[in-house]
Amino acid sequence: MSRRTSVDYDWDESDVRVRANKKGSRPRTRQRPDYDDAVTGRVVTVDRGRYTAVVAEDTQDERLVTAVRAKSLRRTPIVAGDMVGLVGDTSGAPDTLARLVMLQERSTLLRRSADDTDPVERVVVANADQLVIVVAAADPTPRTGFIDRSLAAAYDAGIEPLLCITKTDLSDPTWLIEHYRELDLTVLTSAGQAVSAGQVQAAGGVHTAQDSPTPESAQTDDSLPLEPGMVETLREHLDGKVSTMLGHSGVGKSTLVNALTGADRATGGVNAVTGRGRHTSSSALALRVPDTGPGTWIIDTPGVRSFGLAHVDPDRIVESFDDLGEAIAQCPKGCTHGADAPGCALDAWVEQGKAGAAGAARLESLRRLLGSGRDDELSEKLLGS
């Protein structure tokens, strides 16, 4: 039997075979599933494409579920603290895998960029109520630039900030607290004392950990002393809130988390050559805080060496400086607030002492964040100076 050729064959549409595009094709229908049966969970950690979420929170059926992200969310960043919808096997049994199909609306979103010129923003945590900014009084040296950046990011996200100073047995942090005297900022030291930054003198000064013996149970492998009173005071500030720890490597974030939660997060010291901390936490992790009310979570984040604010509008950065805010209303329209800005009211405000003893340093920090300060800001930015 001879083979039929295209010359004597009557072709029609039924002979056409269209191959699907390997890079994606149109959906067969515009009707997308609504996932009414999705189970709500809180993401506690993300590890190499696997999302661990707690479902049925604060009930007897509470459990951890591991899930993968649906294709429709592949371009949506999902981080610790996010509330998500899960379908599939949500039993939480070993070797089971659910599918993460929905991301609920976020109440807050803490973001950062690699530097002030990087247009790509990185989501740190979601739905946090409080940002605990952790710095060390020494080893590594505290940097007000990093604190100012963190405060600006917290203000932009609508998150309440709290400053926690560790290693006060190595150096007296009074100068650091004085720097933020004019702000409505609660400061907690590892001596176990919580004061408002504006009430340092009324609190009778700052006591270091050397004033009272530190029990062996509060010591850690990296010799960071924690006064039990400080841990309990911090626990009170965390009660009923979702809080996230933020700070450079080596300042004691994971040590605080271990003391508060009983977890065993890896801790590390500071490099003696560079003066920088060693990265020990590789991913953000949300943990419950015992002896607190429902809804109390603390999120330990990896140490950061830069905290860019490219995603924050300059006006929002200015508004985060409460001690200089009133003067901004007296600036001419369109004022850049730079050192050479004509008619800027900030200089006169500081000279009159209305911004407090640290007013000049605060103004300099503001202008660095706005990109109008010293020329060496670029080289110092990586350390948060």
Region 176-181: what's the mean pLDDT? Answer: 89
Residue 55 pLDDT: 96
User: pLDDT averaged over the chain?
Assistant: 79
Query: In the prediction, which pLDDT does 4 show?
Result: 55
* Residues β-bridged to residue 161: 131
Using the predicted structure, report yes or no on whether residue 271 has a pLDDT greater than 60: no
pLDDT of 367 reads 86
Q: Which amino acid is at 234?
A: L
pLDDT above 90 for 357: no
One-letter amino acid of 82: D
- Which has more confidence, 137 or 19? 137
Average pLDDT over residues 343-352: 89
Nearest CA among 202, 274, 185, 276 for reference residue 237: 185
Annotate 293-304 with b (16+ C-beta within 10 A) or e (fewer). Answer: eeebbbbbbbbb
Contacts of 208 (CB under 8 A, 6+ apart): 168, 169, 172, 189, 191
Predicted pLDDT at 210? 33
CB neighbourhood size of 338 (10 A)? 15
Task: Report the pLDDT value the prediction gives residue 212, as an integer from 0 to 100.
Answer: 33
Residue 242's pLDDT band (cuts 50, 70, 90): very high
| pLDDT tens track for 294-314 | 999 999 988 776 777 887 887
Say if CB 87 and CB 37 are below 8 A apart: yes
Please report where in the chains the tokens 């990011």 appear, as a residue.
153
pLDDT at residue 373, as a whole number? 38
Query: Is residue 18 very low, low, confident or very high in pLDDT (cuts 50, 70, 90)?
Result: low
Tell me if 367 sits within 8 A of 373, measured CB to CB.
yes
Q: How confident is the model at residue 163 (pLDDT cuts 50, 70, 90)?
A: very high
pLDDT of residue 99: 96
Question: How wide is the angle at C-alpha 101 spanned by C-alphas 99 and 103, nearest 5°?
Answer: 130
pLDDT of res. 277: 40
Between CA 349 and CA 326 the distance in angstroms is 9
Residue 250 has pLDDT above 60, yes or no: yes
pTM: 0.76
The vertex-253 CA angle with 255 and 249, nearest 5°, equals 115
Q: What is the pLDDT of residues 192-214, one digit of tens each?
A: 555 555 554 333 333 333 333 33
Task: Please tell me the predicted confidence (pLDDT) of residue 7.
Answer: 62
Q: Give pLDDT, residue 20.
A: 65
The predicted pLDDT at position 382 comes to: 44
Are 311 and 121 in contact by the 8 Å Cβ rule? The answer is: yes
| 41, pLDDT greater than 70 | yes
The predicted pLDDT at position 260 comes to: 92
pLDDT digits (tens, 9 = 90+) for 24-38: 666 666 677 888 889
- As given in the structure block, the two tokens for residue 297 are 């979570």
Least confident of 188-202, 266-280, 323-337: 266-280
Q: pLDDT band for 23, please (50, 70, 90 cuts).
A: low
pLDDT at 85 over 80: yes
